[in-house]
Amino acid sequence: MNGPLNNPSDLSLAPLGAGDLIDRAVRLYRRHFLTLIRIAAPPVLVSAVGSTLTTIAFRAMFVTSSDARVALYVLMLLAGFGIAIGGSLFSLIVMGGAARNLVAHLLWNEPVSFRTTYRAVKERFWALLGASVLVGVWIIFCFWIATTAFYIVEIIVVIGSVKIGELSRWMGGIIGGLGTTGAVMGAAIIFFLLVGHMAYVPQALLVEGKGVFAAVGRSFSLASGNARRLMAMTLFTAFATYSALMLLVIPLGWYGYLNGVDLSPFTQFESPAWYAIGYEVIWQCSHILLAPIWMLALSLMYVDERVRHEGYDIELMAARQLPQMPQLAGVMSPFAPALVTGRAPKFVPPPPIQPPTGSVLGLR
Asked whether residue 117 is domain-assigned, the answer is yes
The residues, any chain, with a CB within 8 Å of residue 268's CB and separated by 6 or more, are: 276
Asked whether residue 195 is domain-assigned, the answer is yes
pTM higher than 0.75: no
Asked whether residue 184 is domain-assigned, the answer is yes
Alpha helices, DSSP H, located in the chain:
18-31, 33-61, 67-108, 114-123, 125-165, 169-195, 201-206, 212-222, 227-258, 273-310, 312-321
The 3-state DSSP class for residue 184 equals helix
The predicted pLDDT at position 4 comes to 41
Asked whether residue 305 is domain-assigned, the answer is yes
- Comparing C-alpha atoms, which of 88, 55, 50 is closest to residue 73? 55
Asked whether residue 172 is domain-assigned, the answer is yes
Cβ(107)–Cβ(303) under 8 Å? yes
Asked whether residue 230 is domain-assigned, the answer is yes
Asked whether residue 20 is domain-assigned, the answer is yes
The predicted pLDDT at position 15 comes to 62
Q: Domain containing 125: what range?
A: 13-313
Cα–Cα dist 222/182, whole Å: 29
Burial of 110 (0-12, 13-18, 19+ CB in 10 A): middle
Asked whether residue 209 is domain-assigned, the answer is yes
The residues, any chain, with a CB within 8 Å of residue 106's CB and separated by 6 or more, are: 5, 11, 299, 300, 303
pLDDT by residue for the chain (364 residues), tens digit each?
344 444 444 445 556 677 777 888 888 888 888 888 888 888 888 888 888 888 888 877 777 777 788 888 889 889 988 898 888 888 888 887 888 888 778 777 778 888 888 888 888 888 888 888 888 899 999 999 999 999 999 898 888 888 887 777 788 788 888 888 888 989 988 998 888 888 888 888 888 878 888 888 888 888 776 777 778 878 887 777 777 777 777 787 787 777 777 666 665 666 777 777 777 777 777 777 777 888 788 888 887 777 777 766 665 665 555 555 555 555 444 444 455 444 333 333 444 545 545 444 344 4
The predicted pLDDT at position 341 comes to 44
Structural domain count, the chain: 1
